[in-house]
Structure 1
Amino acid sequence: MSIPRFYIDAGLASGQQLELPEDLVRHAQVLRLEAGDALVLFNGHGGEYPATVEEMGKRKVRVALAEHCAVNRESPFALTLIQALSASDRMDYTMQKAAECGARCVQPIWSEYCSVKLHGERADKRLQHWQQVAVSACEQCGRTAVPVIKPLQKFDDAIVNADPCGLRLLLSPMGARKLDQLPPTASGATVLIGPEGGFSAAEEQRAIDAGFTPLWLGPRLFRTETVAPVISALLQARYGDLC
């Protein structure tokens, strides 16, 4: 069995002993960890810490941290996905695969053809859930940082607030440019991904007016939850650390 990795939102230091928070206590119990078992902790601030379970109780798990390991598994390519809302399981899949593929940020948005509506407390709860989905994906895949899942925005706010640096790409079946026609080098990209029904013609035009380049991914139409891992992998292979 592989050594379990836990993300913890706290300061960590070599030689430190600490009690795991309640959610990680439950996780450790599910994994049936025992005193003396190895694990790895990371807090998203770089590297990770090998650790050992010192005490395993019903309500308390105490671990001892070894020397900091300055491993870096983050892509040099700064990838942000602006993802239109989809059904809950599909959106979870998008968040999971975006994290596994090295995205640094995911910005969920409302767009004209979104069938899902989230507001107020319900939107806040979904945001917390998506962030945890991303955390779990990073624990599993070995990332040493966790992507930021931003609060929901409207389509127009998202394109106005998009990072002006790097590529700005609008994924569209009517896209005028292919992947091999993009610049040979790039430090990052912001990618617009539509819902099940795609973006409206008016939305696509507003995105183009805001500086987004329509990109064609081929003759087959992908489901919205498939697009994030596909474009992430393609861009990481071209500009990042997938080779």
Structure 2
Amino acid sequence: MTSSENNGSSNPSITPISNHQSPMMVAKDNTTTCSTPLDRPEDAQAQPNYEITEERGRLKSVVWNHFKKMKVDGKDKAECNYCTRLLVGGSKNGTIHLHDHLKICPRKKFKDIRDMKQNILMRDQHNVDSMAGVNAYHFDQDESRKELARMIILHEYPLSIVYHIGFRRYSTSLQPLFKMVCRNTIKKDIMGIYDHEREKSMHEIEKNHNRIAITTDMWTSQNKKRGFMVVTAHFIEDLWRL
């Protein structure tokens, strides 16, 4: 195609294409194979009823870390990342209602509790690993017995674990000075820990001058398959911590 033929063309919107260029291909979904977008009014009107929209730039509110913007029947919606509930998501509606939803979202509360437990376990594991490099070490039989009792409580191990040959050999390899206790002794240690923690809890409740919310929950032990009822008390302390 020569330049004279281009000037005499009846369609002025057609641009010349050299031997090293390829024509711009436009798909039905208004996407092109080149970096320059193509504005087509007919494609802009045909939007799906349910789609995720992404805005250019960075959203200002931190609440959008927990929601994603969507289009539902042409209306702006905000979908919760935890419970998938759809709320009004237009920019003119603000984000106060989104913050309020995060405070009462049951799925987010469950995730926060699970993350908190994982952080506690990771912190405890870090503390255990950091103690491995201590040069001066004093063995304490009573402290080892308490840690054994806490392990059984935490993981719901059977009391008969103190008789398991493999566990005894493993404990001896870690600390040959540790004298393994019997089942009745470890049971007394566990009850002693319970009494100590109960006194601590009662002391914290007595110091509290605010209201206390008491809830109950039923659960079944994975080991003995026995049913238990757990009584949980929630309150705000003087430092405004739950």
Q: Could you say which structure has the larger radius of gyration? A: 2
Kindly indicate whether structure 1 or structure 2 has the higher relative contact order, using CA contacts under 8 Å at least 6 residues apart: 1
More strand as a share of residues: 1
Q: Same fold (TM over 0.5)?
A: no
TM range (shorter): under 0.3
TM-score w.r.t. the length of structure 2 is 0.22
